[in-house]
Chain A
Amino acid sequence: MIRLIAVRIGTTLGVVFGAMALLFLLTVLVPGDPASTLLGPEASPEAARRFVIEMGLDQPVPVRFARFVAHLAAGDLGTDVLSGRSVASVVAAVLPYTLVLTAAGMALSIMLGVPLGVYAALHPGSAADHALAGLSVALIAIPNFVIAILLLLVFSVWLDWLPVLGAGDANDMADQARRLILPTVALAVGWIGFLARLVRTAMLEVLAEPYIRTARAYGLPQRTIVLKYALKNALIAPLAVLGLGVGRLLGGAVLIEIVFSRPGLGRLVLDAINARNYPVLQGAVLVVVVLFVLTNLVVDGLYAAIDPRLR
């Protein structure tokens, strides 16, 4: 067991290290001068040169990477050279918004996708099954930013039920919750369809297993068979996808954050790329990678909880 944990931690660190090394390499390959973008045209060549030195961009990539890792080991994500603020504080200011949005999107996907998938599997070939299949494919196919704009037009502009943009007043939970509704739906819609299809397929396979037939022969109630014996096993495959899904949702959240003008990690990364603000980019991407890796660790743990064969 200890060996297993050690291997998992080692793999996790390897993934984080590899992702950051790749990011450093990409920042070298991407054209663009941070001093021009961040300081603007009026900065003198001397100020621009100093700025580049301050960012450490005058050093070779391996040196920059080693410095980054060394600072990281000391718990320091670096400093945003432009504002003088620590990258950790910049990331920490927006991280909660992304976590809340991703968690809400994932929760809504599960809450709707799983029951729909189960229902479709229990009524294969029915009109409802066909309708759900069509709906699921449509939800998967439509990009979430298109859904976001449609939701805004309908619920904010035409009906005036929900606000258009922002994350709400920091001291008003109700306002924050209201402003979370549309982004959550826009983010989750594709995943609802995807999960419904996945659960349906898995459930159909499990429902055809001999042990389910045996359970039916014993006269167990349908509810018990479905919820206690079939669904638990059918969820193993969707669970694996959910782990990856968190990564997709973190990525998909960028567009949602832009359309709804919500703060978040995705937008922070995008702004940092556009501005070539590498310290912020590195810090924000590191947090995204760590979140993704941790989620998958949790999912691995859940496998074991669901399926004793994996313990």
Chain B
Amino acid sequence: MNHTRRDLLGAVAATALWTTSSRAAPAKTAISVRVDRDFEVLDPAFRSGLQDGNIVRAITQRLIGTGYNGAGLTLDAAERVTQTSPTTIEFVLKPDQMFSDDFGEMTADDVKFSYERFILGQNGKESPYKGEWANLKSVDVTGKYTGTIIMERPRAGLFTIALGDVAGCILSRRAVTERGAEHSTRPVGSGPMMVTSFEKQRQIVLRRNPAWTGTPAGFEQVTVRYVPDPRTTELGLRGTDIDFSALPPQIAEPLRKLPALIVKDQPGIANVWLGMNVEKPPFDDVRVRQAIQLALDVDQMLLAGYNGLAPRAHALIMPQVVGYWPDAPVAKRDVGAARKLMADAGHAAGFQARITVQSQPVYQTMALVARAQLAEIGITIEVDAQDGGSFFSAGKGDTGKTLELFMIRFNGKLDPNFLAQWFTTAQIGTWNWQRWSEPKFDALLDQASTELDDAKRTALMIQAQQLMKDSAAFVWLTYDVSVFAYHSWLTPALLPTGIDWALDRFAPA
């Protein structure tokens, strides 16, 4: 093997850099990360929300993992993953991947168990996340480390939604069976970290897994604290109690001035929109809906609600996701045209209506701006602010038939079908609060869900969004913005959604 002078210089420089960084390594071996929801179930198939999912991701492996801070998919527990046909994916596990607490080596049977329980359920309970493994037929074990994932139909979002995310986390069949319900608070995994303490209403402590042979977690200990109040979180960040947290933009604003803290904004992957119930008069008239669209100044609403930090949305799908519609028309405020539409619809004198929002400052503020703007075309709006428990039932069942206008936020994922699934006819009475039904839209979504070619899928999703636009039932507001505050000695590891984190990859700056 020949070595050039450049190789030698490179090696010397790398050694010097390594030595310097080793000497400068901070003494911090433990960090504290804040979450705003309490922990419930540390189980991929039965988790209660993002906070559970982030823990599960740190303590388990997936066949492939989603890279953090902008990186793509990478192999994790698998040595090889090959899509051999639109409906079959073969995998080969790396050997000697050990589950914690002496639950043995990971085998293909554990993969089968972990994935099939999403569709089969467990102990008579159906997984609330069954849809993440939609179209899965079975996982066939072909050897100790090898198996084939068999789908009933092709699934376009399989790698991002299922394999690469929490739904792809691999559990030990033996550990889940033996520990039963206790496994949801004392889970067993084979990932870089392990749960050493689960205290409801307080925190979960993660420590490095001694059996892990891959790149060690960035910190020896990560304490994930449940702190519901953002103001307390702000104080905790100013002190030493919290090292990293997502925060509402308004709370994070004053922290930008502090040199010890970094405040980072990341484009969101959520949908925030104002919806109209197309079955409820007078909103059953498309001219009234169009009038409302023209009367609203979305930029003003966002300025009031998000201090102008959140970028405006023009359609359902955001730029980071397949199916983005770059040429989506941008509605411009035109009160004159809105008044004319109202008159054409027989409402020249206006009418009274109710907008239902969640009782959070951002939505209440935007609703108040909307009220002022709609008053200009004669619509008198009553703002009905409800707590989360009531609000998220407001559009369901028969109650949903009486809903008029509403403002809502849905978390997203990097998959267009995930983002669009709530607007199908089948979702009327559940999450399609607009009660908008368009068979063409349903068919396009169905087609897109099995289309493996990104360009073709994008074309289908643009058509679907065009139909949404034609309905005039939606006023897209923003994809939201994720704002993080953390100490400058820390480098967080954020997954592309921003709301998901790789806690094991948080590292000293």
Contact = CB atoms under 8 A, between A and B. Distances in A.
Interface of A: 30-33, 36-47, 50, 82-85, 90, 93-94, 149, 152-153, 156-157, 160, 163-167, 170, 258-261, 263-264, 267-268, 271, 273-276
Give the most central of A33, A164, A170, A268: most B CB within 10 Å: A164
A83 B201 contact: no
A44 B131 contact: yes
Interface string B462-494: 000000000000000000000000000000000
B393 A153 contact: no
B238 interface: yes
A44 B431 contact: no
B392 A37 contact: yes
Contact of A258 (B38, B128, B131, B229): B229
Contacts of B80: none
A32 B392 contact: yes
Contacts of B70: none
A117 to B, nearest CB: 33
B236 interface: yes
B388 A263 contact: no
Given A165-B232, A258-B229, 6 more contacts: A40-B49, A84-B41, A157-B238, A164-B235, A261-B227, A276-B389
B126 A44 contact: yes
Contacts of B229: 258-259, 261
B241 A93 contact: no
A129 B229 CA distance: 39
B200 A31 contact: no
A166 B225 contact: yes
A163 B225 CA distance: 14
24 contacts: A30-B389, A31-B386, A31-B399, A33-B393, A47-B126, A47-B127, A83-B41, A152-B232, A156-B239, A157-B239, A160-B239, A165-B225, A166-B202, A166-B203, A166-B241, A258-B232, A259-B229, A259-B232, A261-B225, A261-B232, A261-B236, A264-B201, A271-B228, A273-B389
Given A40-B49, A42-B131, A93 B199 contact: yes
Q: Which secondary structure dominates where chain B touches chain A?
A: loop
B62 interface: no
Interface of B: 38, 40-41, 48-49, 125-132, 181, 184-185, 199-203, 225-229, 231-232, 235-236, 238-239, 241-242, 386-390, 392-394, 396, 399, 410, 422, 430-431
Contacts of A50: 125-126
B201 A263 contact: yes
Contacts of A260: 232
B177 to A, nearest CB: 15
A45 B430 contact: yes
A163 B241 contact: yes
Contacts of B185: 83, 85
Contacts of B389: 30-32, 37, 273-276
A274 B388 contact: yes
Nearest to B231: A149
Given A157-B235, A261-B232, A85 B393 contact: no
A40 B431 contact: no
Contacts of A33: 392-393, 396
B201 A267 contact: yes
Given A36-B393, A164-B241, A93 B228 contact: no
A82 B38 contact: no
B235 A153 contact: yes
List the 3 closest pairs (A to B, CB-CB), nearest first.
Answer: A43-B128, A263-B201, A32-B389
A43 B132 CA distance: 10
Contacts of A38: 48
B455 to A, nearest CB: 28
Contacts of A45: 430
Contact of A32 (B181, B228, B390, B431): B390
A172 to B, nearest CB: 13
Contacts of A261: 225-229, 232, 236
Contacts of B125: 50
Contacts of B40: 82-83
A273 B399 CA distance: 20
Contacts of B396: 33, 36
Give the most central of A46, A170, A263: most B CB within 10 Å: A263
A259 B134 CA distance: 42
B390 A30 contact: yes
A94 B203 CA distance: 12
A43 B131 CA distance: 8
B431 to A, nearest CB: 6
Nearest to B394: A31
A163 B185 CA distance: 27
A262 to B, nearest CB: 8
Nearest to B125: A50
Give the most central of B128, B229, B242, B386: most A CB within 10 Å: B128
A84 B184 contact: yes
Contacts of A85: 181, 185
A88 to B, nearest CB: 13
A30 B202 CA distance: 28
A191 B41 CA distance: 39
A210 B94 CA distance: 92
B393 A32 contact: yes
Given A42-B132, A45-B430, A166-B225, A82 B235 contact: no
Nearest to B426: A45
Contacts of A166: 202-203, 225, 241
Contacts of A163: 239, 241
A152 B235 CA distance: 8
A90 B200 CA distance: 8
A82 B42 CA distance: 11
Contacts of A30: 389-390
A94 B239 contact: no
A94 B38 CA distance: 13
A142 B235 CA distance: 21
A161 to B, nearest CB: 11
Contacts of A157: 235, 238-239
Contact of B129 (A42, A165, A259): A42
A8 B476 CA distance: 61
A165 B227 contact: yes
A39 to B, nearest CB: 4
Nearest to A81: B125
A267 B185 CA distance: 20
Contact of A36 (B126, B231, B392): B392
Nearest to B130: A44
Give the most central of B202, B225, B238: most A CB within 10 Å: B202
B448 to A, nearest CB: 18
